[in-house]
Structure 1
Amino acid sequence: MAWYAYCITEKQAFPELLRHRKPIPLESVAGIQGNQVFLYPASDLAVIVSEYSPQESFNQKSAVDHARVIADCFKVSTVLPFRFGTVFTDDDSLRRSIRSNQRQFVTNIERLRGKAEMHLKVTLDDCCREQIHRYAATAVPNTGREYLSNLRETATLQRERQTKARAISVQMHRMFAPLAEEVTCKRTESGKMLLDIAHLIDHKCIERYQNKYSSASQAMKDCQMQLSGPWPPYHFVHRLTRSNAHSHAHPASA
């Protein structure tokens, strides 16, 4: 029997599992393709899975269902999410993977217990967009000196862009004081700069965090901000060893 994996959680969060050594249904939770979700016991841990057939194909709805199952489990326990598309080929491969990574999983659960992820998207004007486009549109320089000068000017503007993004990131960190953070920066199709910020916070601080967001969004007039969460700690989970699992979308993580 192949198993589709959603997340790892604590067995003690599901008292009905303490009397069983075999997978039992997680009532009222449907997985990908509407499949029944099971609690799969593994020492002090439980793996949230559903049966998987190679004939099943994944789509956008499958990804939504994957996230929904993890979110439902997150309501009652600390979770270590798997990447969308993670499949264990049989019981032995699932057990081997959990057993060989158990110490890491237990450590992560201890580290993330009582914590949640808040997700900020901060959009701001690209301070260097017009200048860089102007250099790019310039005709090929007549001399090597002109070419080198253009390279230096472009590099300087790129550093200015990075400096501005870093300054906003630091400002966000000071405002929200997260336990940990993951930040990425990219340019949008409209030429804006987008900072994608994940903050790890104590679950009991969610309301305070939301209040800080309200204040920050009013104070930072030159930025557009969007907040979502609380989410399971997707960005703060160490990668799972892939020796016994394969993925149809991304490598497994937990």
Structure 2
Amino acid sequence: MSVYVYAITSSDCHPRLDDLRGVGEEAPGLRTVTEGPLQAIVSDAPQNLRAKRRDLSAHHDVQQRLLSEHAVLPMRFGLTAADDEAVRAALDENAEPYAERLAALAARAEFHLKAAEDEDVLLRQVIESSDRVRRLRETTRGGGGTYEERLALGELISTEVRARQDEVTADVIEALRPYTVDESRGGATSEHFLNVSFLVDRDRSKEFTAAVEKLGEQYAPDIELRLRGPLPPYSFV
């Protein structure tokens, strides 16, 4: 039977797994597969696995439990192997890089920070700060102006918005770097212009979250900072 792989830890760790259940309708029990200095936390893999909320939650709960007790390399949802022997072979083949990453992630957790901005407020700020935007906006008001002028206005506003958001992103990351070990930037989305994960020493988690709260007060109410964590270090495996 194929096995579902949740995470990799050091073989000298003894995680509490008996009260947790794995992914799938039958909610299989969890077990460890050990090879040398490493072990994988696995369960029997369900057939036709889908990313249902129940299974995503089970996957996350296992990783959160491990993170609370040990250094862990979290695996993505849906990762399976043919059998226990295939898991052991993977642990053996990748023993050195896995051990290096576990050492680098020991006593550390990931925090994920996003930022969203009120579009109306942002547009008003852009208009107030740019003479050229104001002139083109006045020229094209009510459908006036040429097609080229309307196109230029849209492009100029877009450029100004990106510049302002890039500046905020850089300032936020720079302000938080003293409290972090590493960072991993994600792409902007339609809702969030800032999307970045930080690797933080556990004993500095309160300092880090306090720094984020201070930034949130600084940028409110125009910009909203949204922080999640501590999380398994998905972005730094």
TM-score by length of 1: 0.74
Partners of 2:228 and 2:49 in 1: CA distance: 31
1:185 matched residue in structure 2: 188
Using CA pairs below 8 Å that are at least 6 residues apart, which structure has the higher relative contact order?
A: 1
Q: In the alignment, is residue 110 of structure 1 matched against residue 103 of structure 2? A: yes
1:170 matched residue in structure 2: 170
Q: In the alignment, is residue 199 of structure 1 matched against residue 217 of structure 2? A: no
* 1:94-148 deviation line (CA, Å, top 9, x unaligned): 22222222222111111111111112221113446998xx99xx89x77xxx3xx
* 1:187-215 deviation line (CA, Å, top 9, x unaligned): 23xxxx44222111111001111221221
Partners of 1:96 and 1:109 in 2: CA distance: 18
Q: In the alignment, is residue 41 of structure 1 matched against residue 34 of structure 2? A: yes
SS in 2 for 1:36: coil
2:49 and 2:78 in contact (8 A); partners too: no
1:20 matched residue in structure 2: none
Partners of 1:229 and 1:55 in 2: CA distance: 30
1:119 matched residue in structure 2: 112
1:6 and 1:49 in contact (8 A); partners too: yes
1:165 and 1:185 in contact (8 A); partners too: no
Deviation at 1:87, TM superposition (A): 0.8
> What are structure 2's unaligned runs of at least 5 residues?
128-132
Deviation at 1:42, TM superposition (A): 1.8
Q: In the alignment, is residue 30 of structure 1 matched against residue 21 of structure 2? A: yes
1:118 and 1:227 in contact (8 A); partners too: yes
Pairwise CA RMSD of aligned residues?
Answer: 2.8
2:92 matched residue in structure 1: 99
SS in 2 for 1:162: helix
| Equivalent position amino acid for 1:232 in 2 | P
Deviation at 1:155, TM superposition (A): 4.5
* Structure showing the higher strand proportion among its residues: 1
How do 1:21-100 residues align onto structure 2 when only pairs under 5 Å count?
A: 26-33=17-24, 34-100=27-93
Identity %: 22
| Equivalent position amino acid for 1:187 in 2 | S
* 1:21-79 deviation line (CA, Å, top 9, x unaligned): xxxx9322221132101111121111010011425554221011101100001111111
1:6 matched residue in structure 2: 6
Partners of 2:97 and 2:162 in 1: CA distance: 34
> What are structure 1's unaligned runs of at least 5 residues?
16-24, 238-254
2:39 and 2:91 in contact (8 A); partners too: no
Deviation at 1:160, TM superposition (A): 2.6
Partners of 1:28 and 1:229 in 2: CA distance: 23
SS in 1 for 2:20: strand
